[in-house]
């Protein structure tokens, strides 16, 4: 009774893939274990090279098929790998001709490249040849039964990575001793199937998927071991009863219990079971873990991506967020596509997904400008796209060139529009100079400028100042500044007395540390013309509250040409409204005035200057930039 309980516990462990590790009698991945389409490649786990299997064409076993393998054939080297036509005799003239054709590009694969075979007939042809070469009866020992022959086929075709332990385990349970000499020799995914024979007894046969649909009974090729030539089994033959028969796939697994740490071989769950009756078949059981789609025919293409020109900056970002990323084009797959990492469990999720990944590697920088190699350079970015399913990885790649150079012109702030007087000469001292001139390369910027007269009348001339900014790499840009020259009045005197208050924009602006402020005091015997509303418009301080319009107060009397006004105030304020300088505080005669403001003691920032006289007030903004 105790033995039965232990046996039941073992069965519970092996049917739950979350309880034991994925170490099995093939590549250590459940995806491979559940993949009945592909060559198992167990020989790699045995410490052999990846092309060390029958008919691979890698005659000298260096993991590359090239002209040296053909030379080896011509020099008389004979081994399993050199029998590329599968006739049982290596390095024949036909083997050499086939390999030569492959190397010349006349064929894309050799007959023994199982994963590359395209048709059912190709797979059947190679399988039947390998079954003949293997000759499983040559391994037989006294007392062998049908299951022993099929297990030997599993060893020779599929392979068992823990072969010594497997044979020891079989001996411990009273089984026959298997031959490990040809373990994983043929690299073909032959599966163990349990069937019901025509006498109603359990039987064992070998089964290989030669079609593209594992759930279609006719896509399987079942091999019979008990007749000469090892013929294909059909429904109704002795090993496969047509009367309530079945064909159940069995898989040996080498597992480690997460509870005890013990490792052991056992049968895992049935992955696939067919019901056979009256010449027809149906699915009796289908594991959710069984891969349904051939991963060998999946194609992945990394779409060509344009080269990327990136503007240099000091903290340059050349990540794919900036340069772009290519698309992956997938063909011949209907599986759900996932960019998530492959997880070892649950197996059922892995088997029904196509796992995609996209990554890149950057090559060395090539100087595009030897004088400034860290600013203008290029490098190649290799994009690699991967599609993974059932232990089969498909890859494609493309190369993108990333070119980094200074392609951005300098930036700047132009002087504001200014008015100069008739005594002034056109010069940057009078019209101001640009500020905030900088380039993304952090190198020197060349600045030039020119004046052009664009309009003229008896009162003024209008000029445009064209400023040109050029960086070290030839990127340039221009800006236009407007300048007006007053031809009627001068700084010191008026040709005729002004008829209105006026506050001019300071120049230069921005400034550091001095700037000129010009204002006009009118002849009070010629009062300002009121607005249509009969009010005198005022300009409030920009940060303050708008002032109400003030009523116009017409001054009576006449004949006074140079009368003194009331008090004239010209003050400077910071952005908080605090007075920082009083430039004028006195009575003034009617004329135009100029005053210099020196802000050497003040920090950089925005300031406001305000002219007040009687009911008149006007405010303008200026920028101190140190």
Q: Of 26-40, 199-213, 281-295, 460-474, which range is least confident? A: 26-40
Kindly tell me the burial class for residue 459, based on how many C-beta atoms sit within 10 Å of its own C-beta (0-12, 13-18, 19 or more).
Answer: exposed
Q: Which two tokens stand for residue 52?
A: 């060390």
The percentage of residues in the chain with a pLDDT greater than 70, rounded to a whole number, is 83
Give residue 348's pLDDT: 60
Q: Is the peptide bond before 580 cis (omega within 30 degrees of 0)?
A: no
* More confident call, 486 vs 605: 605
Distance from the Cα of residue 297 to its chain's centroid = 25
Q: CA-CA distance, 132 to 144, in Å (whole number)? A: 19
Q: Of 125-134, 229-238, 250-259, 401-410, which range is least confident? A: 250-259
pLDDT value at 223 more than 70: yes
Q: Give the model confidence (pLDDT) of 287-317 as tens digits.
A: 888 889 999 999 999 999 999 999 999 889 9
The residues facing 310 across adjacent strands are: 404
Give residue 496's pLDDT: 54
* More confident call, 431 vs 193: 193
Beta carbons within 10 angstroms of residue 83's beta carbon: 25
* pLDDT, mean of residues 249-256: 76
Read off the pLDDT band of 419 (50, 70, 90).
Answer: confident
What pTM value is reported for the model? Answer: 0.66
Read off the pLDDT band of 81 (50, 70, 90).
Answer: very high
Give residue 162's pLDDT: 81
Beta carbons within 10 angstroms of residue 198's beta carbon: 15
Question: Do residues 397 and 389 lie in contact, with contact meaning Cβ atoms separated by under 8 Å?
Answer: no
pLDDT value at 46 more than 90: no
Q: CA-CA distance, 122 to 134, in Å (whole number)? A: 18
* More confident call, 72 vs 177: 72
Q: Which two tokens stand for residue 555?
A: 């001054």
pLDDT value at 84 more than 70: yes
- Phi and psi at residue 390, to the nearest 5°: 60, 35
Q: Chain-wide mean pLDDT for the chain?
A: 84
Question: Do residues 409 and 476 lie in contact, with contact meaning Cβ atoms separated by under 8 Å?
Answer: yes
* Of 12, 32, 15, the residue nearest 23 (C-alpha): 32
* pLDDT, mean of residues 222-249: 94
Q: Which two tokens stand for residue 77?
A: 């080297």
* Of 360, 381, 358, 359, the residue nearest 310 (C-alpha): 381
pLDDT value at 28 more than 80: no
Delineate the domains of the chain, giving CATH numbers in brackets.
2-54+112-189+249-268 (no CATH), 295-405 (no CATH), 408-488 (2.60.40.10), 498-626 (2.60.40.3880)
Read off the pLDDT band of 170 (50, 70, 90).
Answer: confident
Question: Do residues 204 and 146 lie in contact, with contact meaning Cβ atoms separated by under 8 Å?
Answer: yes
**In 403-456, alpha helices (H):** 428-431
Give residue 11's pLDDT: 28
Q: Give the model confidence (pLDDT) of 534-593 as tens digits.
A: 222 323 333 333 333 333 233 223 334 445 556 899 999 999 999 999 999 988 878 788
Q: Give the model confidence (pLDDT) of 487-541 as tens digits.
A: 876 554 444 566 789 999 998 899 999 998 989 888 764 443 333 332 223 233 3
Q: CA-CA distance, 152 to 209, in Å (whole number)? A: 18
| 146 three-class SS | helix
| 168 three-class SS | helix
pLDDT value at 96 more than 90: yes
Question: Do residues 310 and 323 lie in contact, with contact meaning Cβ atoms separated by under 8 Å?
Answer: yes
* Of 45, 23, 231, the residue nearest 127 (C-alpha): 231
pLDDT value at 606 more than 50: yes
Return the H-helix or E-strand segment holding 281. Answer: strand 280-286
Q: Give the model confidence (pLDDT) of 469-486 as tens digits.
A: 999 999 999 999 999 888
Give residue 542's pLDDT: 31
């Amino acid at each position: 009774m105790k033995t039965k309980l232990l046996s039941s516990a073992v069965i519970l462990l092996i049917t739950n893939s979350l309880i034991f590790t994925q170490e099995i009698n093939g590549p250590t991945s459940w995806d491979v274990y559940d993949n009945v389409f592909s060559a198992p490649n167990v020989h790699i786990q045995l410490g052999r090279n990846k092309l060390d299997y029958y008919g691979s064409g890698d005659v000298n076993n260096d993991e590359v098929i090239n002209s040296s393998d053909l030379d080896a054939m011509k020099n008389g080297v004979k081994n399993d790998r050199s029998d590329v036509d599968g006739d049982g005799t290596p390095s024949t003239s036909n083997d050499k001709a086939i390999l030569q054709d492959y190397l010349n590009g006349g064929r894309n694969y050799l007959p023994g490249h199982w994963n590359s075979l395209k048709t059912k007939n190709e797979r059947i042809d190679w399988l039947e040849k390998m079954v003949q070469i293997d000759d499983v009866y040559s391994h037989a020992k006294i007392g062998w039964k049908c299951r022993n022959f099929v297990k030997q086929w599993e060893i020779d075709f599929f392979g068992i990575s823990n072969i010594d332990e497997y044979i020891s385990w079989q001996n411990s349970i009273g089984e026959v001793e298997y031959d490990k000499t040809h373990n994983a020799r043929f690299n073909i995914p032959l599966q163990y199937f349990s069937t019901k024979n025509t006498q109603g007894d359990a039987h064992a046969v070998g089964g290989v998927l030669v079609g593209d649909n594992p759930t279609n009974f006719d896509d399987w090729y079942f091999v019979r071991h008990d007749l000469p030539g090892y013929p294909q089994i059909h429904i109704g033959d002795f090993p496969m009863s047509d009367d309530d028969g079945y064909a159940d796939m069995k898989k040996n697994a080498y597992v480690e219990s997460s509870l005890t740490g013990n490792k052991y071989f056992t049968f895992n769950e049935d992955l696939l079971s067919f019901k056979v009756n009256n010449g027809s078949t149906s699915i009796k059981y289908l594991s959710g873990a069984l891969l349904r789609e051939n991963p060998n025919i999946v194609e992945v293409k990394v779409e060509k991506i344009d080269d990327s020109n990136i503007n240099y900056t000091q903290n340059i970002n050349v990540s794919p967020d900036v340069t772009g990323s290519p698309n992956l084009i997938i063909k011949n797959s209907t599986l759900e596509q996932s960019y998530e990492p492959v997880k070892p469990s649950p197996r059922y999720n892995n088997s029904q997904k196509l796992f995609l990944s996209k990554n890149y590697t950057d090559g060395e920088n090539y100087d595009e400008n030897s004088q400034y190699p860290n600013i203008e350079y290029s490098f190649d970015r290799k994009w690699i796209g991967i599609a993974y399913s059932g232990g089969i990885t498909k890859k494609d790649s493309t190369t993108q060139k990333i070119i980094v150079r200074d392609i951005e012109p300098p930036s700047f702030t132009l002087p504001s529009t200014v008015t100069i007087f008739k005594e002034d000469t056109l010069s940057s001292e009078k019209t101001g100079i640009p500020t905030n001139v900088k380039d993304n390369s952090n190198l020197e910027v060349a600045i030039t400028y020119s004046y052009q007269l664009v309009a003229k009348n008896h009162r003024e001339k209008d000029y445009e100042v064209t400023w040109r900014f050029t960086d070290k790499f030839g990127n340039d840009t221009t800006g236009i500044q407007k300048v007006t020259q007053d031809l009627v009045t001068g700084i010191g005197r008026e040709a005729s007395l002004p008829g209105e208050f006026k506050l001019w924009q300071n120049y230069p602006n921005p400034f550091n540390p001095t700037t000129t402020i010009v204002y006009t005091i009118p002849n009070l015997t010629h009062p300002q013309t009121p607005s249509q509303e009969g009010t005198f418009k005022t300009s409030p301080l920009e940060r303050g509250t708008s002032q109400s319009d003030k009523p116009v107060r017409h001054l009576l009397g006449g004949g006074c040409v140079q009368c003194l006004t009331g008090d004239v105030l010209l003050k400077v304020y910071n952005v908080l409204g605090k007075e920082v300088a009083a430039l004028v505080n006195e009575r003034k005669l009617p004329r135009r005035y100029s005053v210099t403001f020196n802000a050497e003691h003040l920090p950089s920032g925005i300031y406001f200057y305000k002219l007040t006289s009687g009911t008149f007030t006007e405010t303008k903004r200026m920028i101190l930039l140190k």
